[in-house]
Amino acid sequence: MPAYKVKVKWGKEMFNIDVDTDEEPLLFKAQLYELTGVQTGRQKVMLKGVTLRDDEWDKFKVSNGSMILMMGSKEEDSMKEPTVKPKFVEDMNESERAVSLNLPAGLNNLGNTCYMNAVIQCLKTVPELRRALKNHKGAMSLDASSPSQSITMSLRDLYECMDNIKVSPSLSPFIMLQVLHTAFPRFADKADDGHYMQQDANECWTELVRMLKALSAEKPAEGQETDKQKFSSFIEQYFYSVMDSELKCAESDIEPVTKSTESFQQLSCYITTDVKYMLSGLKNKLKEEIIKKSPTLDRDATYIKTSKVCRLPAYLTVQFVRFYYKEKERINAKILKDIKFPIEFDAYELCTTELQEKLAPMREKFKVAEEKQAFEVKKDDKKKMLELQKSGDKEVETYPYSFDGDIGSNNSGLYTLQAVLTHKGRTSSSGHYVAWVKHPSNGSWIKCDDDTVHPISEEEVLKLSGGGDWHTAYLLLYGPKKLEKTPEEPMATSP
């Protein structure tokens, strides 16, 4: 095991430290944090002009006696002497490291099951789903006649195990995989060598979410009106968008326009030569040409289908349509093009005029709050920034993010990214899937690569937009952007 004794110079202080380059560099930075109080994100660690990254040693060549320079200042609230003697990272076992860094449990790969692991980690970021699963009663069963109940209960039990795991920082989701194979035999297909074949993570995502319709819809609080949409399941309340569509024949002025309303589990971002950003890819899907038989012309004709969102869910799933079928090779080939996506997303332009009007009051509240915050920070930048940072660790009262009478909706059109599922490879039936999730308590980002789980930066998440053979965003999960109440405002109960 490559372990080296090095010296780290930080200001006027010098530390003698053992470095194990078999471990993630972030663990070394965590060790420096324990010694100096400088947060890992504020550290700049250099050796002979090379800066150490969080995820790999790369050109950072360490040897015995190396003199490493660390730059970075600790925050004002980190100046106190620690009351408990630090335990160095190299002295911790894997479980202690995961607890020390407050990381979620990983999931072992059971043979090309990274697609399932990534989906499970992404969905785990939805607190309302976790609550609904916890409240779902019944014992685990492998009854093939009730796949929806089996998947729902196995996911409930798996999340509970992941939260309570003590011995190891990862576990093997055997039961979840068995239930998935029973419900969807195609996921159990094997190659000639006897190993499970790689599967499409989006297919797994849509099927799992569809099976979770076994979760009962949330009921409104006593005295509140019932849901206007009258959804029958929790999933429809929190994950389904509703669209109004108009279908008009482009070759006939006398044929009446056909109107319809449809619900969707996810929005699709179509990638064409002129699409560079997620929003433009989503808008492309809202107006499309369709060839169908015209009853007026009695022949195939071109129709223009125009759609607008009339109901936004609290949790919005966006699929990048990156795979297309190549007839000659008989594979689902991948579009590698770089498509930028935002950390904070505004869905206002996708909505009907009626919904935009309904969104206006909450959007105005956000605007006023942001202007007030900008003004206060400008008055005394340092003091206010410290106060904002400290308040981030406290549980705060927020406005409800759903409309009255429509549990699980989004009443502002504003979203915050909380999970990204990526694919690395050239076809959907090969390569590797990884989940990149936002920590529920402190907002930091975490990479969940099967059983390997470690912190990353927001900048690394934004680099998942594509353009090469690196991990490329395939599915995005956005949650509602929440607005904090000021102390003088009345309290309210969020859904």
Average pLDDT of the segment spanning 222-239: 78
Which residue intervals of the chain bear CATH 3.90.70.10?
104-495
Query: What are the CA-CA distances from residue 98 to residues 19, 28, 174, 451, 455 (Å)?
Result: 18, 14, 22, 11, 10
Nearby residues of 272 by Cβ (< 8 Å), 6 or more positions away: 281, 284
User: Higher model confidence: residue 327 or residue 101?
Assistant: 327
User: Which residue in the list 114, 249, 269, 448 is annotated as catalytic?
Assistant: 114
Q: Is 80 exceeded by the pLDDT of residue 441? A: no
Q: How confident is the model at residue 82 (pLDDT cuts 50, 70, 90)?
A: very low
What is the pairing mode between strands 170-171 and 106-107? parallel
Count the neighbouring beta carbons within 10 Å of the beta carbon of residue 118.
Answer: 30
pLDDT computed for residue 393 by the predictor: 47
CATH number of 3-91: 3.10.20.90
Question: Which tens digits make up the pLDDT trace of 453-490?
Answer: 999 999 999 999 998 778 999 999 999 999 988 765 55
Question: Which tens digits make up the pLDDT trace of 155-198?
Answer: 999 999 898 876 557 889 999 999 999 999 999 999 888 889 99
Residues 159 and 165: their CA atoms lie apart, in Å, by 10
Q: Is 50 exceeded by the pLDDT of residue 89? A: no
Nearby residues of 310 by Cβ (< 8 Å), 6 or more positions away: 242, 243, 244, 261, 351, 352, 354, 355
Q: Is 249 among the catalytic positions? A: no
Q: How confident is the model at residue 141 (pLDDT cuts 50, 70, 90)?
A: low
**The token pair that represents 407 in the structure block:** 């549990």
Count the neighbouring beta carbons within 10 Å of the beta carbon of residue 374.
Answer: 10
In the 8-state DSSP scheme, what is residue 427? B
- Asked if 262 and 246 touch (Cβ cutoff 8 Å), the reply is no
Q: How confident is the model at residue 252 (pLDDT cuts 50, 70, 90)?
A: very high
pLDDT computed for residue 381 by the predictor: 55
Helical H segments across 314-464, by residue range: 353-379, 381-391, 458-462
Q: How confident is the model at residue 35 (pLDDT cuts 50, 70, 90)?
A: confident
Please state which of the four CATH numbers 3.90.70.10, 3.90.950.10, 2.60.120.260, 3.40.190.10 is assigned to the domain occupying 104-495. 3.90.70.10
Tokens 């409309």 — which residue? 403
Nearby residues of 213 by Cβ (< 8 Å), 6 or more positions away: 148, 232, 233, 234, 235, 236
For 290-353, give the DSSP string: EEEEETTTTEEEEEEEEEEEEE-BSSEEEEEE-EEEETTTTEEEE-----B--SEEE-GGGB-H
**Containing H/E element for 204?**
helix 201-211
pLDDT computed for residue 430 by the predictor: 81
Q: What angle do CA 342, 345, 347 make, to 5 degrees?
A: 140
Average pLDDT of the segment spanning 244-248: 96
Q: Is 439 among the catalytic positions? A: no
pLDDT computed for residue 390 by the predictor: 46
User: Which residue in the list 136, 181, 432, 439 is annotated as catalytic?
Assistant: 432
User: Higher model confidence: residue 493 or residue 403?
Assistant: 403
Q: Is 50 exceeded by the pLDDT of residue 80? A: no
Residues 107 and 99: their CA atoms lie apart, in Å, by 16
Per the prediction, the chain carries an average pLDDT of: 85
Q: Which backbone phi and psi does 121 adopt, to 5 degrees?
A: -65, -40
In the 8-state DSSP scheme, what is residue 198? P
Residues 217 and 240: their CA atoms lie apart, in Å, by 13
Q: Is 70 exceeded by the pLDDT of residue 100? A: no
pLDDT computed for residue 37 by the predictor: 75
Q: Is 50 exceeded by the pLDDT of residue 79? A: no
> What is the length of the chain?
495
Q: Which backbone phi and psi does 458 adopt, to 5 degrees?
A: -65, -35
Minimum mean pLDDT among 2-11, 131-140, 172-181, 391-400: which range? 391-400
The end-to-end CA distance of the chain, in Å, is 51
pLDDT computed for residue 106 by the predictor: 94
pLDDT computed for residue 434 by the predictor: 97
Residues 172 and 178: their CA atoms lie apart, in Å, by 12
pLDDT computed for residue 248 by the predictor: 96
Q: Is 50 exceeded by the pLDDT of residue 78? A: no
Q: Is 50 exceeded by the pLDDT of residue 249? A: yes
Closest by Cα among 350, 484, 341 to 413: 350
Q: Which backbone phi and psi does 34 adopt, to 5 degrees?
A: -65, -30
Closest by Cα among 84, 9, 78, 81 to 38: 78
pLDDT computed for residue 495 by the predictor: 44
pLDDT computed for residue 415 by the predictor: 98
Residue 79: is it exposed, middle or buried by C-beta count within 10 angstroms (0-12/13-18/19+)? exposed
Residues 490 and 99: their CA atoms lie apart, in Å, by 37
pLDDT computed for residue 426 by the predictor: 81
β-bridge mates for residue 258, sequence order: 247
**The token pair that represents 111 in the structure block:** 């043979």
Question: Which tens digits make up the pLDDT trace of 305-322?
Answer: 999 999 999 999 999 998
For 35-89, give the DSSP string: HH---GGG-EEEETTEEPPSS--TT----TT-EEEEE----GGG-SPPSS----G
Closest by Cα among 95, 96, 82 to 33: 82
**The token pair that represents 400 in the structure block:** 């409800």
Which residue intervals of the chain bear CATH 3.10.20.90?
3-91
User: Higher model confidence: residue 27 or residue 413?
Assistant: 413
pLDDT computed for residue 394 by the predictor: 54
Closest by Cα among 482, 485, 484, 318 to 414: 482
Residues 420 and 462: their CA atoms lie apart, in Å, by 10
Residues 172 and 213: their CA atoms lie apart, in Å, by 25
Q: Is 50 exceeded by the pLDDT of residue 125? A: yes
pLDDT computed for residue 380 by the predictor: 54
pLDDT computed for residue 130 by the predictor: 95
Q: How confident is the model at residue 1 (pLDDT cuts 50, 70, 90)?
A: very low
- Asked if 218 and 132 touch (Cβ cutoff 8 Å), the reply is yes
Q: Is 60 exceeded by the pLDDT of residue 216? A: yes
pLDDT computed for residue 167 by the predictor: 54
Residues 194 and 192: their CA atoms lie apart, in Å, by 5
Q: How confident is the model at residue 359 (pLDDT cuts 50, 70, 90)?
A: very high
Average pLDDT of the segment spanning 380-389: 51
